[in-house]
Amino acid sequence: MNVIIAVSSKGSVTKTTLISNLAGLLADSGYRVLAIDAENTQPALSSHYPIVEQATNGFIKLIKERCLGPEVISKTSIDGLDIVVSDDRSDTLSEYILHEADGRYRISQALKTAEDH
């Protein structure tokens, strides 16, 4: 399993666009891709590809329960491209992550549970 992230200390430098295009390109090339939208108030990645099967949960459950199962993984219209949608529009997770001792490690913990699949 390979993990690709885009980070920048500046806003609006096209991180989301890059990840979105890369996810679609890799899926079209035959890779199984899971995109994770961790943005809170402006969850752009969640709207770039049409969702054809919406999971009951999204990024909040991934963070709070270190969960990366079918209940948080939605299917997009692109074959091989799934997504964990952002569902934290009221921005509750920033505070939550800050006050949990292992808050900053929750994504990597969740990813470890998915590694075998």
Ligand X SMILES: Nc1ncnc2c1ncn2[C@@H]1O[C@H](COP(=O)(O)OP(=O)(O)OP(=O)(O)O)[C@@H](O)[C@H]1O
When the beta carbons of 46 and 76 are compared against Mg ion, the nearer one is: 46
Distance from C-alpha of 4 to C-alpha of 37, rounded to nearest angstrom:
13
Contact positions vs Mg ion (CB under 5 A): 15-16
When the beta carbons of 11 and 30 are compared against ligand X, the nearer one is: 11
Scanning 5-13, 28-36, 48-56, 96-104 for contacts with ligand X by CB under 6 A, the matching segment is 5-13
When the beta carbons of 40 and 109 are compared against ligand X, the nearer one is: 40
Residue whose pair of structure tokens reads 């529009």 in the numeric block:
89
Query: In what side-by-side order are the strands of the sheet with 81-84?
Result: 33-36, 81-84, 74-76, 51-53
Beta pairing class for 81-84 and 33-36: parallel
16 binding ligand X? (CB under 6 A) = yes
Site residues, ligand X (CB under 6 A): 11-17, 39, 44
